[in-house]
Each structure stands twice: as C-alpha cells, then as structure tokens.
Structure 1
Amino acid sequence: MKKSTPEERAPEVQKARASNRDWIRSNRTWDYKQLCELLSDRRSRITMVKELLRRGFFIKNQPQESDVTLDPDDNSATTAPATTTMTTTAAAARSATSSTREADYSSILRVAEPDFLRINGNLQNGLALSNTEKTMYRYYCEALLVFCHMQRPQAVENLTDAEWVKRIQHGGRVVTGTSSMQIALTLDEEAWFQMYYKQIRPDSIRHGKFSRGFFLSSSGEAVHSVSQDMNHFHELYKLSTSKSQDVRRAVETAAKNLTADQQKAIRIYLACGTADSKMLQPHKIVDTAVLLDSLSGKSEETSAAATSDVIMGQHTFQKDFSAFVARFPVSLEGQPPCKKQRVDSGYPEDATFYLKWRASQYAKRLEYLMLTFMSKNYFILPSEHFTLRKPTAATVARHIAKEGWKANYPKPEKIQWLWKPAPKRTIETDTFIIRCVSEQVWPGLAIKDFGAEQGHGVVATRPFSKDEIVCDFHGKLITGAEGEALLEGIHNEAMCLFFFKVGQRSLCIDAQTVPY
C-alpha cells in the first residue's frame, strides 16, 4: 500500500481497525473469575493480574485495589494467617456485591429482551401491535441508550428525527447523536431504532404539531421525561428502579485500572454537551463504545446468539397464533375469547394471544371506518356514509354506536386525523400552512449531507399521505415551454425548476435565480 493513494488506503485502514477491535474483544480481555480457576495460588494470580494490566490487557470483575496488594510474608492463599483470610473473604464479598449491583443496573434490558425481540419480530412480519406493545418497544430503545450506552436521560430526550437521518456507518457501528451526546450503536441496535422510526413513531405523529423529537409519546409530543419512562418500564417487570447516574458511576469505577487515555475517552463518551464530546471523531466514538462493551462483558456474538434463540421461538409463536385465529376468527363484531375458552382449547393461560387477537380486531375496525368515511364509490358503501367534508367526532361516534361496539375501537378523533378530503382543499386561510410558510419549518422534513459528490438534500422523516402538503416552493411562475428552454441551458449545476400541471396547462416554477 506504500504507493497507493489515500483513497485506496482508506478502505484497508478501516478493515484493519475493525479487525483490531475484534481482536481486542476476543484476545485482550480476561475475566478475574477465570484467572481464579486457572491460578489457585493467590500470589501467582495477583502477579499475573499486574502483568496483564501492564501489557495493556482488560480484566473484568477485578477485586478492590487493596486485595491485589501482596504482603512481604504472603506466599500463598493456603499459608496466609487467619486475619488475612478474613480480610480477603470480606473483600471478595464486597467485590461480588459490587458486581451484582452493576449487573442489576441493566437487568431491565436482560429481563425485557425476550418480549422486545418478540415485538420486533411481529413488526417484521407486518402484524398489528397493541398500544402497550408500542410503548414497551419505545421504553426498551430508551433503556438501551441509558443503561447500555450510559447516556443521561436529558440527552436522550434531545435526540431529534433530523439527527437520526444524519447517522453514519463507521467501523461496523452506526454513529449518531446530538449536541449533548455521541454514541456508536451496533448494527442490531440501529435496526431496532430504525424499526421504531419507520413502524411505530409515525402512529404517534399528530397533524398540526411541530414535534421533532425522535421519541414521541402517544399524544404526539416529544417525550419530556425519559427518567419517568424508565421508572414505568421497571414497574412493568416489577424490578427495583435503576438510576442513570448509578450506571455511569459504576462504569467510571470499573475503568480505574485502564490507561489514562482510555479513561479520558470514556469520560468524554459519557460527557453531556462538553466541548470535548462535540469534537470527537467517528472512529474515536466507535473505539470507546467497543471499550465500554469490554468493561461490561457485552459482546456482539452474545447478543446475536440471544437474538437467534428468540427468533427461533418466534416461528413457533406465529404458528400457534395462526392456529389460535383459526379457532377464534377475528371479526368486526366478535368478542375475544375469555380465559376459560382459551384454556379449554389447549392454549396458555397468559394474555399473549388475547392481546394479539384484540390488536388484529382493532386494525380491522380502523380499516373499516377509514373506508366508510373516505370512499368515493357510491356503489360500495351507502351514500349517507360518504362525505366531502371532514366528519365530526360526533358523526364518527354515532356510526360506532350503530355498529354496537363497546370497546376496542379507534377513537373518533383518530379517524378525524387520518381522514383526507377527495377534492383539493384551499390553503390560503389554513393557519397551519401559513405558519409553516412564514417560519419555514416543515414537520417531517430534514436536511441530510449525502457526501461531497451529491451534497445536501432533503429527506422525509415521516410518511406523507396523498394530497398532503409537504412544503412550499419559491420562484417565478413561467410556462412549461419556458422551463424546458431554461433546462437545456443548465449544465453541471443544481437544477431548481419545478414542473407541474394545472388542468391541461403545463407550468413551471423557476427558482434558479431566487434566493432561499
């Protein structure tokens, strides 16, 4: 590579760094418990620990510093006096208690993981989720940032949709963040967050609200208290609440035996909005994330194995639920099977299938109501159901009452929000559109850098419905023929011409010479 260009060397450098990180995870990390099994003699074990640390190895579950100090007359654990044995035992107990407490901080991730992966599998298979499952999925993603990536709740609250679309891949990780945090997600974690962004978050968006937060509550507002969400998450699984500061403190304690540079990198990774954290380069963020994983004993191989186990169970679950639906068909007017019916038919006592059945019925009823109030075909639905104006909540409520539904149906307000008119609506007096034009803030859009060749571009951060206004376009109105003539004279520069039709007329907006 000596005679290669920087562009040719860059991919090989990235491969070398990735290989080095893999090697560190597998070959430069020891567990003190493993050393205890290999070296029963205390003096030999302590000597080995010091030598490994001196050579730059990582050691998990290290004892207290006082417990790795050799006394002048300390030859082995078997010849130590009684007082020494008691001190060592007490120190080992303290170390075990500390290790257990550190594990407890992230126990919510371990306990909730099977449910989370099951919900993720349902999303991948296109199955409808209950509101509880959507909220639980969001809680787990927030918990990953707080308890796995050790970020402050306030920093998680500040993550926006625009910052998410600007994430970049580097060294087998995905780097994203805000002005107050920079993190390197694993590829699995990035896929989970993207699933939330694409499949769950759009259901929380409300028309007329300007929320740009990545995590949205069911009301459409940005999550204002991740700490409160974490409290609720622990309550769901009847676990004692863990605090983010306890996790961060445990990590800082575990990093005391690392080199000064490594400790500094971890402090910057955990920092909240400091000048140093804003200057971190992607490769530094990735390297520090890998280092944190080695401290916590986490490995991507372990995560992949756990995911594989749950996915194998997913196939059995889906097969059983298919049989469950065949036994208890989902219909608009039906009632979900009670516990006795489920048990008598040979299904588990828990409410898993019951909740899935209700979610499927809810989706059917939502689809039925949308067809009722949006259909333009008089031959499909009775004419009194068709309206050229947005139905009122009272109108939708009356229709629901006629159907005889007592529970498990969409709120009338949701039908109002989802409803779209058949003809084009006038926008001159629409206060929401006027506000967007005057402030030049359009919900659902973000600017992303696509690299030196393509430059900056606009991307959508939420789905748009047909006939929905996306943004405005400034420029001089000309005929389509005039626009075509201008287009022929544009070479090697950005094109700012927008062609459209009004009836049979071809028109064009010329923004080529109009400032933004």
Structure 2
Amino acid sequence: VQQWLDRKPVSGGATILLAGPVAAGQSFTLSHERRGPVSLKEQGRDKGRFFIGKCGRPLSNPSSDLQRLKKKYSPQASGSVAEADSPSTSTGQPPGASLSDPLMGQTPSGASRPTSGSVRNWKAFCDTFPVSLHATPPTKFQCVRAGFPCHMPYYKKWRKAQLSQRADYILRHAVGRQGNRPTEAAVQRVAGDYQHLLPCLLQQSWKGLSLKDFGQAKGKGVVATMPFSKGEVVCDYHGELISNSVGNQREQSGYLFFFANRFCIDATTFPCGCHPEQDTFGRMLNHSRHNPNIRAKKVKVTFPDGPRDALVFLARRDIRVGEELMWDYNIKRQSFRGEGKDLAWLDE
C-alpha cells in the first residue's frame, strides 16, 4: 500500500518503486492507471489478507480466482461454455436453447446472441407449460411427450423463472414486522456500543490507513486506503492515560490530548511500551481548522483489566480513498501566550 501511495506520475501512467529484500530498487510502470472498487467496509473484516472479494470477505486463493476469470472470458472458453450449456442438435434436442439469465433468451452485453430458433423453442416450452406461482413443474415424461426430449435446460430455466415470480410476490405482499420489535432506545444503545473495537485498540491494527510523507514543509500524515462512511470509526488516539493535572505538568510535550478537562492522553513516547515495533496513527494526524474530516469522541470500552475511557476519531463526512485525514486541534496562533504566532499552518 505504501509503495502505491508513493507512486510517481509519468506520461500516460504511473511508476511504482518496489521495496523489500528481493525487489529492492526495482520499479515498473503502469501504462494506464486504473482505480478499482474498494470492498473493505469495516475494521477487521479482511482478517489480515490483502485481496478482498466483492462482498468484503477475504479471498482464500486469489490466483485461482484470476485463472477462473481468465478462462471464463477468453473467447475459446466462452465458446465451450456456451456449447456445454446449450442443448446439442446432434442428439435430436431443440436447437439453440439458451440458458442465459433473462427469461426470453436475451444474453448480457458482449455475449453471443441466441438464434431465433432458441427464442421460439423457449417460448414454445412456456406456452406448453406456463410459468405461474402455483404451477407444478413438468415431469420428464410430459416434456418428452410434448416434443422436448432433452428437457433439462428448459426445466431449469422454467424453475428459475417461477422462483423469481415467487420472490417478487413475497416482497410485494410481505407484511411489516409486528412482534418483538426493538425500541428506539435499544437501537441507539447498540449503535453507541464500541466494544467491538477492543481488538483494534489492544493491537493497534486499524485498517484502511497508511502514513505518507508530504515533504519537508508538512511532514508525515495519515491517508485513507479505503473509503470511510460518515460516523465510522477511523482510529484512536493511543497513549498514556493521565489526569489533567499531570498533563499540565508535561505541557512542553507536543503530543498531549486534553479532552474536555476530564482526562489527558500523552502520546509523546514513541514507540510506546505496549507496541514497541509500530507507530500509532492517532499521533500522526495533521491539523485542519477549516476543512477537518474527522472528529474526536470519548467512548467507554471494557478492557481485560476493567472499563476504561478511550478516544476514537469518527468520520465527519464520507472520506474517499487517498484523502488525508485531519482534525481540528482547537488551538490558534494566539494560544500558549503567543508562542505559536509564527505557525501559520494553525490557521489553515
């Protein structure tokens, strides 16, 4: 992810410099840069795997999926699939029967169009055995007697059409939930429960974030590598939990977070004692007074040693991939007895 964020644009694409003990110093250029959809939706959904499926679940074997995708859409494979799915004319079966999803023999864009005989044969099958909600599927004997010796493709398509009709009927006539409905207070109470964040808080394994160097003037910051919805938890401000009085004694530190005069979190020590081999994202978030996209919130989480307060950052709005995460420090250049008058970035 970090190598992708550090890509350098070139004419017609982008160059990516590889890192690591094997590929150190090597690079490759993408002729056309394409950004695909991102499926990771919540913290911890990927289970530590890089490739994620369309539904947001991790792929167990991405190389096998790519091979199947290539086989499915290659011209030779698509022809063989069509032959396998369509009834064969050499066995006396009605020619050109189509098993495509639409009912009347139409195929998705890019696929070969069925012959007129295919449409007529399917229409003839439907005329002989009309599809309805309560109709009984035709038997093999009935199909053969009606002139459809290889009936199985038509039978499966008939059942699929009936299932679609039944699903539409249920959705149109289904009544609303009457009993055992949760109250509004119960829904709000569950929505405000942050106990599911405990593994992320303990391991500091926040997904969808990466550090990026913005140059000498700004330094490092945090960017999103997956989209965040409004109100979604992004990360926490990790550090030593101390009282306000102790925090005032350590005021010379630049990583003190005072929250509503209730408590203070000191993230000065890097790396922290509980995570000696990793940097935490909360202390690297930059300031924006006019365009912040995240905000701080105090939550109560039950840790192994008992309930404790924690500070998490929530998305103020929908956040796009590649967007820098910033929050308002609530300080101005006039703060700290005027010591920050030369810090113009505080007013940005």
With structure 1 as the length reference, what TM-score do the two structures score?
0.27
Specify which structure has the higher proportion of strand.
2
Specify which structure has the higher proportion of helix.
1
